[in-house]
Structure 1
Amino acid sequence: MLQRTLFHLGELSLPVYSTNTVIVGSGAAALNCAEHLYRFFQERGETRPEELLCIVTAGLGAGASNCSGSDKQTYYKLGIQGKTPDTPHDFALTLTQGGCTHGDLALIEGENSLREFYHLVEKGVPFPHNERGGFVGYKTDHDPRQRATSAGPWTSRFMVQKSLAQVRRFGIPILAPYEAIALLTVGEGKARRCIGVLAVNHKDAEEEGFGLTLFNAENVVMATGGPGEMYAVSVYPRYQMGAHGICFEAGAVAHNLTESQFGLASLTPRWNLSGTYQQVIPRYYSTDPDGSNPREFLNDYFPSMRALATAIFLKGYQWPFDPDKVAGFGSSLIDILVEHERRDLGRRVWMDFTRNPMATGRLEPFSLSDLEPEARLYLERSGALQETPIQRLERMNPPSIELYRNRGVDLTREPLEIAVCAQHNNGGFAVDRWWESNVSHLFVIGEQAGTHGVKRPGGSALNAGQVGGLRAAQRIAHAYGPRVPSVSEFLSAVGDTVAAKLEAIRAGIRRAESAPRRAEEVQREIQQRMTDFGGVSRSLEGAARAVDAASRLLVEIRRDGLRIERRRHFLRQLRVEAMCVAHLGYLTAIRDLIARGSGSRGSHLVADPKGILPHPALGSEWRFGPENPALREEILEVWLGEDGEFHTRAVPVRPIPESEFWFENTWEAYRSGRVFE
């Protein structure tokens, strides 16, 4: 049981929980970190390790790892099957190939990949193996080998379920629903240290103390995922807020926030349409807003049905939008054409699995025999030569159909409305080789940690989340130890901060009635700004305007407040303000990267009137500048300064370590504990 005391603030008595480590978040990365930390404390001789950590979450099971997936959600690991050799160094080369990735972190993710994969296997995640017990792989996007594996559409959900069961067996406390609203720190600059968390207990939010709860901890691990709710067009789970705003305000430095992934997904329900959803070659068409006037819009841009059908097929493992895959009627031309229909023409776009692509104009009828060899051979080897896409999908991946049926959509009868959606942020908060941020004792893992660069193989984020949780737990248990901080010292250090936050909440409620704008309205403005200026299509002029607008909005929020209907909705005010802070940080990074001459890279285009036109039939507004490869050797960091403004700087990429280790020396360093320094 956690140590519990009270903090007396005026007439209020706020609960204070004391422990060694607070893990904020309850996704696959957070739960895995808790498992490892329990084990490491136990191995160090702690008789009640469950009292040394707790999980604090706003919604158990509400995050991306439990609610998101794809046709067969990929887990990317070191290759272990077949005749093709693989090494952690080769793995790191793949992770760093797109640029802007620290080599030491990439190598650590490779060296710990199998340890974490087999940890998942032993917990019961049903990764398929052959009759010899070998885990067969397949090729995913940005993958030169067949390192990918999958447990089906819900791979990460299996990871969450199995890890949660283990956490519960260990008796690790899970406090829910508690929403973190501030990180508590002491010191300034490089001496800043995280010493706890201020959260709101949703169940007590209507009480006089607003449910405010303090967590006194030696270490804090942030694992709240990406800022999915920051975009208007998003495939993240609804209400996936992330916690980037409070990390910025605590002094944490972020990097690579410019590098988000965008790809084709259904809007209702929100789901990635990668893999077999594309490889079965469904029909794409667009309509007027009311669903009338259907048109085979892709046909106008491809020279033959063979080229069109093959491009659709290739979207399966070239799923994220990629400027390098536009030319020559590449698969990413489809993303641009979908965006053109929706954004420029105001039409809706659909995928229909009941029909093959339909021939119009000069295009010949669709035929499975008239595909490029790569597509034809894949379908042949998969036994997927049936007459219609839905029949091919039933052959290749029945769970992908059942998934939609369970969400009220019958793919055998109805189409999916689609868009190019925000799907993942490769960047996040900068971490060292132990996933510790620049703020001492503040660790960041999962998508919230920015260990990826411009491009990454599909499924590598799941591997990174597991490895990050392991590394944070190692550092905490073996370097920082099991100490539980003094309550009196903690309250002395944070009392004024908590009092100020309490007064800010009260002031926000007082201003709510006269505030000119509703919280929901402002949130929609932020979301639309991010989709318009931080999405798949960007420009320097647009990003600069967006930064100015975001800065003005933050001033207005803090001056005028946000309108809410009831007192208990004060959390909406806090969330929208934190989202405004976060989107200002993102847009500042986007503006400054474009100003450095980055060009189009990763999963976004940068407009250039003298640049490349994706297709002669598109307008000049679609011209984009090529990537500047020289900038692959640097990473753009962004932080919130003491002056209240966001600042950026470019830092060199750390190379992949080339050091070699002698066993006896490593053994001695391990026994002495120096390997954890």
Structure 2
Amino acid sequence: MTAVVVVGSGIAGLTAALHAAENGCHVTIVTKGALPDTNTRWAQGGIAAVTHPADSVASHAADTHTAGAGLTDAAAVDVLVGEGPARILELVSRGVTFDRTPDGDFARGLEAAHAVPRVLHAGGDATGAEIQAALGSAVRAAHLTVREHALLRDLVVEGGHVTGIVLDGGERLDADAVILATGGAGQLYAHTTNPLGATGDGIAAALRAGAAVADLEFVQFHPTALAVGAPFLVSEAVRGEGAVLIDDAGRRFCFDAHPDGELAPRDVVARSNARAMAAQGDRPVRLDATALGAERLAQRFPTIDAAVRARGLDWAREPIPVTPAAHYLMGGIVTDLDGRTSVPGLYAVGETARTGVHGANRLASNSLLEGAVFGARAGEAVAAGGAWPIPPVSTTLAEAEAAAEAPPFSREALQQVMWAHAGLVRDAAGLDHASGLLAAWAASPAPLSVEDANLLLVARHVVAAARARTGSVGAHFRADAPAAASVPPVQEALAC
């Protein structure tokens, strides 16, 4: 029986685990928090898929390619949108209760850059929590082994093949294959919608094992995180329902940058917000949802409504302050269409992986779909086994000259550097400065926690990728070359 360790317990990891187990594998799920402590649980807007005759997979694919700024992988996108409807039915069969219209059809929301309403949601704005709960129940019902509060320290590589993992504390778990589903690295940034656990653990472990990564320069910043209290995402679906963004003068400024205004691609809206904030002394812009009314806001967005009101705001009566925040990593560990990486025995799925479906900018609500589609494919591929079809490809980090003087390392200092120089707007001077600081910290003998070491390693690769791509494209915006996209000198990718 094939022994599989799945690291991570969001939609991608649990879907992979269930499919592997249902195909005869012995599966152990490892997660550094409790089973539900994932990015998936916080997903609000929903999951995009074709579920209505008026929609088509061709339309969904076209929207995905457009949002990805021409850098999406066509084969991967075809898999995503083509297999998406089946994965929705699978989620329903596992107990996910999507919201319905009075006639029993799926309720569908419209989000930015989608041609038609195709975003399914559950509990209004609690889609991720509903999916997480249903998949968690399915895992428990299947009696899969679950190791909670267990932090991945590293992969075990023997003879060029991954043969297990080592947990923080030294315990080794042997496996015939390892599936990494550890999410992204939002904690690289001073402002993020991600939970504290999003420290790039899987990507960093894969890098140390010699796996190829790509597209790490493409970090998506969500335009609307609450600017009062702890960061809290205000879903794009709110704008899809009719909310608008205004500056201090009450002007809808997003149309200055794009004819779709607030429903332009996320990178465009996020940068519009940042420009408007800079023009008014860095004060937050405001999301005006007052036209929706208190009843509609509470019914459609109960989670957001509660969070807004807990901060002493009444968004049915007055616009609320919002700011951009790091939200999603489009790049990651390079995989084929079945989750295989460049290291035999190692798979990656979800935000940890770079499948090619997002290109330079993820289409709204394609993230949960990616986890479901490619999680299922990886689970089935690991059970099928067979020869490893991908030649090894090693990712090397371009050497950067360490800064002559650098402040002592802290996670806060790292986050501020990344926010200032590798965030929404970048340029050569800022990236060079960041690269030097990161190199100095990496050369320091001061010991770091596992998570801080992971963040530092991933940060170095993000900055190196951003330096290599000298033109602007999608979520990667270079103020020193705002109009021309370019291909970096070395783009490590596998044929998909």
- TM-score, length basis structure 1: 0.63
3-state DSSP of counterpart to 1:225: coil
Name the stretch that deviates more: 146-155 or 249-258: 146-155
Q: Does structure 1 residue 92 correspond to structure 2 residue 57? A: no
Give 1:19 deviation, angstroms: 6.9
| 1:541-556 to 2 correspondences below 5 Å | 541-556=429-444
Distance 1:117 1:468, change over 3 A: same
CA distance, structure 2, for counterparts of residue 395 and residue 161 of structure 1: 21
| 1:9-20 to 2 correspondences below 5 Å | 20=3
Percent of pairs identical after alignment? 20
Give the counterpart letter for 1:317 in structure 2: L
Distance 1:319 1:592, change over 3 A: closer
Indicate conservation of the 8 Å contact 1:276/1:396, yes or no.
Answer: no
Q: Does structure 1 residue 429 correspond to structure 2 residue 333? A: yes
Partner of 2:88: 117
CA distance, structure 1, for counterparts of residue 171 and residue 286 of structure 2: 47
| 1:270-669 to 2 correspondences below 5 Å | 270-275=231-236, 277-278=238-239, 281=243, 296=248, 298-299=249-250, 317-318=263-264, 320-322=266-268, 333-341=272-280, 345=281, 347-349=282-284, 351=286, 384=292, 390=294, 393-394=297-298, 397-405=301-309, 409-411=312-314, 417-451=321-355, 452-480=358-386, 521-556=409-444, 559=445, 561-562=446-447, 573-594=449-470, 598-599=471-472, 601-608=473-480, 625-628=482-485, 631=486, 649-650=490-491
3-state DSSP of counterpart to 1:83: coil
CA distance, structure 2, for counterparts of residue 126 and residue 555 of structure 1: 50
Select which of 150, 155, 167 maps to 1:183. Answer: 155
CA distance, structure 1, for counterparts of residue 225 and residue 412 of structure 2: 20
Select which of 250, 267, 271 maps to 2:209. Answer: 250
CA distance, structure 1, for counterparts of residue 95 and residue 468 of structure 2: 45
CA distance, structure 1, for counterparts of residue 451 and residue 191 of structure 2: 19
Give 1:282 deviation, angstroms: 6.6
Partner of 2:113: 142
3-state DSSP of counterpart to 2:152: strand
The superposition leaves residues 351-371 of structure 1 with CA deviations (integer Å, 9 ceiling, x where unpaired) of 4769x6xxxxxxxxxxxxxxx
The superposition leaves residues 543-562 of structure 1 with CA deviations (integer Å, 9 ceiling, x where unpaired) of 12211221121001xx2x14
Distance 1:581 1:401, change over 3 A: same
Q: Does structure 1 residue 217 correspond to structure 2 residue 175? A: yes
Indicate conservation of the 8 Å contact 2:287/2:322, yes or no.
Answer: no
Give 1:479 deviation, angstroms: 2.4
Partner of 1:168: 140
Distance 1:391 1:155, change over 3 A: closer
Indicate conservation of the 8 Å contact 1:258/1:589, yes or no.
Answer: yes
Select which of 23, 30, 39 maps to 2:6. Answer: 23
Give the counterpart letter for 1:141 in structure 2: A
Give the counterpart letter for 2:434 in structure 1: A
Give the counterpart letter for 2:224 in structure 1: L
Q: Which has the larger radius of gyration?
A: 1
| 1:44-63 to 2 correspondences below 5 Å | 52-60=26-34, 61-63=36-38
Partner of 2:126: 154
Give the counterpart letter for 2:40 in structure 1: S
3-state DSSP of counterpart to 2:183: coil
Give 1:176 deviation, angstroms: 1.4
Indicate conservation of the 8 Å contact 1:139/1:317, yes or no.
Answer: no
CA distance, structure 2, for counterparts of residue 426 and residue 417 of structure 1: 27
Indicate conservation of the 8 Å contact 1:234/1:421, yes or no.
Answer: yes
3-state DSSP of counterpart to 1:475: helix
Give the counterpart letter for 1:118 in structure 2: L
Give 1:136 deviation, angstroms: 4.3
3-state DSSP of counterpart to 1:535: coil
RMSD: 3.2
Indicate conservation of the 8 Å contact 1:431/1:443, yes or no.
Answer: yes
The superposition leaves residues 109-130 of structure 1 with CA deviations (integer Å, 9 ceiling, x where unpaired) of 1222111111111122121234
Give 1:75 deviation, angstroms: 0.5
CA distance, structure 2, for counterparts of residue 142 and residue 249 of structure 1: 37
Give the counterpart letter for 1:109 in structure 2: L
Partner of 1:197: 165
CA distance, structure 1, for counterparts of residue 95 and residue 211 of structure 2: 36
Partner of 1:103: 74
Partner of 2:196: 238
Give the counterpart letter for 2:225 in structure 1: A
3-state DSSP of counterpart to 1:145: coil
Give 1:340 deviation, angstroms: 4.7
Give 1:106 deviation, angstroms: 1.3
Gaps of 5+ in 2: 388-405
3-state DSSP of counterpart to 1:212: coil
CA distance, structure 1, for counterparts of residue 261 and residue 139 of structure 2: 38
Give 1:280 deviation, angstroms: 5.2
Select which of 213, 216, 220 maps to 1:261. Answer: 220
Indicate conservation of the 8 Å contact 1:233/1:531, yes or no.
Answer: yes
3-state DSSP of counterpart to 2:40: helix
Partner of 2:395: none
Distance 1:83 1:112, change over 3 A: closer
The superposition leaves residues 257-304 of structure 1 with CA deviations (integer Å, 9 ceiling, x where unpaired) of 11111122114342222435445547856xxxxxxxxxx2x45xx5xx
3-state DSSP of counterpart to 1:337: helix
Partner of 2:391: none
Give the counterpart letter for 1:163 in structure 2: L
Distance 1:139 1:352, change over 3 A: closer
The superposition leaves residues 223-272 of structure 1 with CA deviations (integer Å, 9 ceiling, x where unpaired) of 01000111111111123212122211111111111111112211434222
CA distance, structure 1, for counterparts of residue 493 and residue 199 of structure 2: 30
3-state DSSP of counterpart to 1:607: coil
Structure with the larger RCO, 1 or 2 (CA within 8 Å, 6+ apart): 2
The superposition leaves residues 192-245 of structure 1 with CA deviations (integer Å, 9 ceiling, x where unpaired) of 221110002xxxxxxxxxx32101100000001000111111111123212122
- TM-score, length basis structure 2: 0.84
CA distance, structure 2, for counterparts of residue 252 and residue 445 of structure 1: 14
The superposition leaves residues 475-527 of structure 1 with CA deviations (integer Å, 9 ceiling, x where unpaired) of 1112259xxxxxxxxxxxxxxxxxxxxxxxxxxxxxxxxxx987xx5211211
Give the counterpart letter for 2:209 in structure 1: A
3-state DSSP of counterpart to 1:196: strand
CA distance, structure 1, for counterparts of residue 383 and residue 209 of structure 2: 24
Give 1:607 deviation, angstroms: 1.1
Give 1:349 deviation, angstroms: 2.1
Give the counterpart letter for 2:425 in structure 1: S
CA distance, structure 2, for counterparts of residue 605 and residue 99 of structure 1: 15
Indicate conservation of the 8 Å contact 1:281/1:313, yes or no.
Answer: no
CA distance, structure 2, for counterparts of residue 391 and residue 473 of structure 1: 42
Q: Which has the higher helix share?
A: 1
Indicate conservation of the 8 Å contact 2:217/2:476, yes or no.
Answer: no
